[in-house]
Amino acid sequence: MPIQEKKKIKKEEKETLAPKGMCDLLPKDGDLWKEIGRAVFGVAELHNFHFMETPVIERAEFFETKQNKEHGTEKHLYFVKGKGEHLALRPDYNLPFLRGYIDHHLGYFASPLKVFSYGQVFSIKHSNEHEKNISREWVFHVIGDNDPIYDVEIIHATLEVMKTLKIKDVSLHININGCRTCRGAYREKIKSFAGSKKGELCGQCVRGHEKDPFLFLECVSEKCIGAKKDAPTVLDFLCQSCNNYFKNLLELIEDNGILYELTPSLIRKSEGSNRLAFSVRSGGVELALGGRYDYLSEIAFKKQIAAAGVSLYVDRIIPLIQAQGNQILAKQKHKVFFIVVGDQAKKASVRLMHQLRSSGIVTMEALGKKSLKMQLKAAEKAKAPVSVLLGQKEVFEETAIVRDMDTGAQETVTFDGLVEGVRKKLKS
């Protein structure tokens, strides 16, 4: 078979039925997923964040306003057909939280409102308008106050989650993006600087710097990294208000013993974003991105509401935990594998398994496999230390066999003594 045909077959084998850019959460990662959830809930409780969930679908015009302001285009939204409504999947949590804050007058519930949530966000990558993208995120947000103390609290919460998950080599990167008063002057300066460096930039940045002057600051190509070494920083263009804010923020961060790196290339380009921008990374992987978005509510809803938030990217955190070999899984509950032979035993097993589960014993089974051999193989694969065997004879005598899967030692117990017999075997 020609080499080209072999390559073609391999490529076809990798194709899936899922939409392009979408991914599944698989059972093998389920325990890690739960641990991340436990970590976030624990940190949220300590910081008094309230859980809040919003629909995955919102009115598209909210996001269209935002997208028009950011990019002059609506192509980055993932639209949904709705009966009589123009809808879109949320590309982030910022606008949904603000919409919920306004709809339900949540400023009366708490001031400021501190919320956290988990969910999926959908967008189309800027580099390829045909490539859909899904991200699973845990988020912390503070709405209704622009005091830098809440920015530090969000940073604290993010770092505490990383610490709980035992992620190594975590670094905090901070920049200030200015406000409407000072950001315009910085944008023009960067635009002029990028224009003067055209011969030193990569092709993408040469083509895009007029529309997005900050593009080359984020670029990781070797050409652009060298060109931006002498680029002006926003610190030279801050107005007095932003300068005071940043000074107070850094004092709070340093007073709390938080290590950080000033990163001028960290730019949040949304017109709704302002002042703080921060990123939490490990080994070059960005695990969380956050900052203030005080202008967003005014743009979308014609109301001035201060807000700040952070997104923790679970799809990046899990592979990193696995790569680092972090031992974060909680001690697993004892597990028992229930094996039956015959229809009568199968019927009786339902009540007995419920009995075990009601007593807090995790009970697994493979009742769809009728042969004893297949069920024993499933028990070995599940690595359950103890199994319970039930056949026609045992049903008649109202007994069950409890077996140690490592030693093969077993004993017969009555139905009434099953829970105690299983516990005794698990302890031994």
Of 300, 324, 348, the residue at which a domain comes to its end is: 324
Q: Is the pLDDT of residue 178 over 80?
A: yes
- Please check whether residues 156 and 196 belong to one and the same domain: no
> Which pair of structure tokens corresponds to residue 25?
């959460």
- Please check whether residues 29 and 65 belong to one and the same domain: yes
The verdict on residue 330 lying in a domain is: no
- Please check whether residues 355 and 215 belong to one and the same domain: no
Q: How confident is the model at residue 160 (pLDDT cuts 50, 70, 90)?
A: very high
**What is the distance between the alpha carbons of residues 77 and 63, in angstroms, rounded to a whole number?**
8
- List, in order, residues 6 or more apart from 331 with CB less than 8 Å away: none
* Pairing status of strand 362-365 against strand 386-390: unpaired
- Please check whether residues 103 and 211 belong to one and the same domain: no
- CATH, residue 352: 3.40.50.800
The verdict on residue 329 lying in a domain is: no
User: Exposed/middle/buried for 239, CB within 10 Å: 0-12, 13-18, 19+?
Assistant: middle
**What is the distance between the alpha carbons of residues 1 and 208, in angstroms, rounded to a whole number?**
45
- CATH, residue 41: 3.30.930.10
Q: How confident is the model at residue 125 (pLDDT cuts 50, 70, 90)?
A: low
Q: What residue numbers bound the domain in which 360 lies?
A: 335-427
pLDDT at 3: 41
Least confident of 54-63, 152-161, 187-196, 199-208: 199-208
Q: Is the pLDDT of residue 374 over 80?
A: yes
pLDDT at 4: 45
Check: CB of residue 139 under 8 Å from CB of residue 234: no
The verdict on residue 127 lying in a domain is: yes
Report H helices in 302-412: 314-324, 343-358, 372-382, 392-397
| Tally of domains in the chain | 3
- Please check whether residues 17 and 61 belong to one and the same domain: yes
- Please check whether residues 152 and 298 belong to one and the same domain: yes
- Please check whether residues 416 and 312 belong to one and the same domain: no
- Please check whether residues 127 and 254 belong to one and the same domain: yes
Check: CB of residue 151 under 8 Å from CB of residue 292: yes
- Please check whether residues 166 and 210 belong to one and the same domain: no
251-286 pLDDT tens trace: 999 998 899 999 888 888 777 888 899 999 998 889
Q: How confident is the model at residue 71 (pLDDT cuts 50, 70, 90)?
A: very low
The verdict on residue 198 lying in a domain is: yes
pLDDT at 124: 62
Of 284, 299, 324, the residue at which a domain comes to its end is: 324
Sign of CA dihedral 262, 267, 273, 279: negative
Q: Is the pLDDT of residue 72 over 70?
A: no
- Please check whether residues 50 and 154 belong to one and the same domain: yes
- How far, in Å, are 46, 119, 141 from residue 309 at the CA level? 17, 15, 4
Most confident range (mean pLDDT) of 224-228, 332-336, 373-377 is 373-377
Of 324, 355, 379, the residue at which a domain comes to its end is: 324
As a whole number, the mean pLDDT across the chain is 82
